[in-house]
Amino acid sequence: MKNLWNDKDATSFQAKDGELGLRVYTSRLLGENERLVLVGGGNTSVKLTEKNILGEEAELLYVKGSGWDLSDIEAPGFAGVRMDHCLRLLELPELSDASMVNELKLHCTLHSAPTPSVETLLHACLPFKYVDHTHADAVVTLTNLSDGESRVREIYGDRVLYVPYVMPGYELAKYCSDLWKRDGRDDLLGMVLLNHGIFSWGKDARESYERMISLVSLAEEYLTTKGHERFSSPVPETVPFIESTNDPVELATIRKEMSDAAGFPLLLRSNLSNRALEYARHPEFPKAHQRGTATPDHVIRVKRSPLIGRDVKAYADNYREAFQRNATQTPGGKTLEMLDPAPRLVLDPRLGLLAAGRRPGECRAAEAIALHTFDIVESSETLGGYEPVGELDLFNMEYWELEQAKLRKQGTPAPFAGEVALVTGSASGIGKACASALRTRGAAVTGLDLTEDQSTPDFLSLVTDVTDPSAVKDALARTAYAFGGLDILVLNAGLFPPPKPLAELDDELWKRTFSINLDANQLLLRLAYPLLRQAPNGGRVLIVGSKNVPAPGPGAAAYSASKAALTQLARVAALEWAPDNIRINVLHPNSVFDTNLWSPEILANRAAAYGLTVEQYKRRNLLKTEVTSRDVAEAAAELCGPRFAKTTGAQLPIDGGEERVI
């Protein structure tokens, strides 16, 4: 475990926010190392004395707030809680976790502070200025062994305290508070929580951080002597797409089954790396993985276990049975509502690792947890057996009111959350606006164009010639492996050739216009059809036509005819694909000038030809309004959304009112 402390960086953070700035700095050092902290895990704190508005000095505990990630936390990510109240709460014989959180919120110094960590009281009971907590892979590996406590005692001796697994929250804080009063010593370096993680502390930020690095390094060195060197190196980067003989429809099919089990669409991220395939094909490791998560808080993101193979129904049935088995044992006889029973991880010998979620970030988080768990399970199994906490403990964590409250804070999912769209001609104009409108509504989007755009977790940019069958097949496969399938297809890419009278139109221009405006779209429709059939909420196709279909103009024979043929193709597809619950609708925009087709010079020339100013020319319609790419995109997104769930085969003008169309 490498010590990343840098005096210059530390000074910079301290100059900005004082001792809280140093807390920010070392928190980030911890959060940037996935071997220590994963996807929002871990927490840190610092105790500071400050004057309140009355000029009275008060000791405050600045602790990581819920919803913040240590890797990029800022000073506002720490909630300042009054220490005296924290310590008084620990004197109570019992306290519900919900009441604990309420008390902590009420005793923050700022109303805008985030909700303090559920482990705030544990930080408070430790009499050290800086306290760090991580779920280090090496430590978790050792504490998930049947003889885990003896292993860590062999490593650390009397330099740390040892805590059996206790449910996080007030119960764990109370246990640790009593433990410290009984066995605490100033010379202790930290505390190991079995099946959970590790704490370190110190008089300053550097000491606490370096103790964490030192303690985890000792665990890594122990594992290295046992032949497990991987914990001293980074987890291999994920590989979102690898050339494969697997049929993308297989992914779309299992995604639909998982979505049906969940009751809402799920994205599905594929990892076909050698690491994932070797693990999925191992005769023992996947079965061991089914015993539970490496640390209990992971259950919120990946459920208790992965699906081994592809029998989603059996997994869902087993989940329901486990719920019924454990729900009767909840404290106080609470009535619980079952969460969805769909898996979040799949291990399959041919498909490798699949990670599911409603958002791309959830998929990536589940994938990261899986990859780290691979290492933990492998090492644990060869050291004597992987033994995480039991089914009931994981159930209590999954249905813990505080963890579920975090999920509820995410709010109502966006209309297209968990859905996948593909947009052609996505680098500019209407296509770019369509991609943006769909992403704003929660969709993961693949954009195809001849120029590359910037890819993000929810946007996959692919340089693709849509007239090339092999390139289109590759783009659809990459979409399936990145996001799991296809729900929405927006056919926007097109060619508007320079105006030419029909008598002067050459064969090459005619063929090229039809190749892009008609043939390429027919190809995409045909190749996308098997994926659209597996869309959990039904497939949707939106075709960007043209005003020239109902009202052609002179000099645009190739464009008008190709768009008319495309519209007719859409009508046939609507007739044929309705039994597969696929909707096809067409938009006919006109005079959309904020695209690459219209330069300022062309606009000025066209306006002059009509004896109008440029602004008058842009509004040359019945409503005297300008039609923008965004206007078209918003209409496209709505046609693909729930408000038009019972509409197919429609043609909608979006032109501000055109006399010849009307």
Measure the CA–CA gap between 4 and 213, rounded to whole angstroms.
Answer: 9
CB 317 within 8 A of CB 343: no
- CA 192-291-333 angle, 5° bins: 85
Give the three-class secondary structure for 134: strand
Judge residue 206's burial from the number of C-beta atoms within 10 Å of its C-beta, 0-12 exposed, 13-18 middle, 19 or more buried: middle
Measure the CA–CA gap between 414 and 439, rounded to whole angstroms.
Answer: 10
Of 35, 33, 28, nearest to 10 (Cα)?
Answer: 28
Measure the CA–CA gap between 236 and 227, rounded to whole angstroms.
Answer: 18
- CA 207-208-211 angle, 5° bins: 80
One-letter identity of residue 576: E
R_g of the chain, CA atoms, integer Å: 30
Give the three-class secondary structure for 168: coil
What DSSP line would sit under 188-238, residue for residue? --EEEETTTEEEEEESSHHHHHHHHHHHHHHHHHHHHHTT--GGGSPPPPP
- How many CA within 13 A on the CB side of residue 543? 31
Measure the CA–CA gap between 84 and 105, rounded to whole angstroms.
Answer: 14
Which residues 6+ apart lie within 8 Å of 500 measured at CB?
509, 555, 557, 558
Of 229, 201, 227, nearest to 214 (Cα)?
Answer: 201
Of 6, 382, 32, nearest to 234 (Cα)?
Answer: 32
Of 582, 593, 422, 416, nearest to 492 (Cα)?
Answer: 422
Beta bridge partners of 543: 491, 586
- CA 426-429-434 angle, 5° bins: 55
Give the three-class secondary structure for 517: helix
CA dihedral 261, 263, 264, 270 (to 10 degrees): -10
Judge residue 336's burial from the number of C-beta atoms within 10 Å of its C-beta, 0-12 exposed, 13-18 middle, 19 or more buried: middle
Q: Which of 156, 399, 529, 559 is catalytic?
A: 559
* 559 included as an active-site residue: yes
One-letter identity of residue 251: L
* Number of Cβ atoms within 10 Å of the Cβ of 172: 19
How far is residue 346 from each of residues 183, 289, 417, 428, measured CA to CA in Å?
44, 11, 20, 37
Displacement of CA 101 from its chain's centroid (Å): 26
Measure the CA–CA gap between 137 and 295, rounded to whole angstroms.
Answer: 10
- How many CA within 13 A on the CB side of residue 350? 10
CA dihedral 223, 224, 230, 233 (to 10 degrees): 110
Give the three-class secondary structure for 545: coil
- The catalytic residue positions are 559
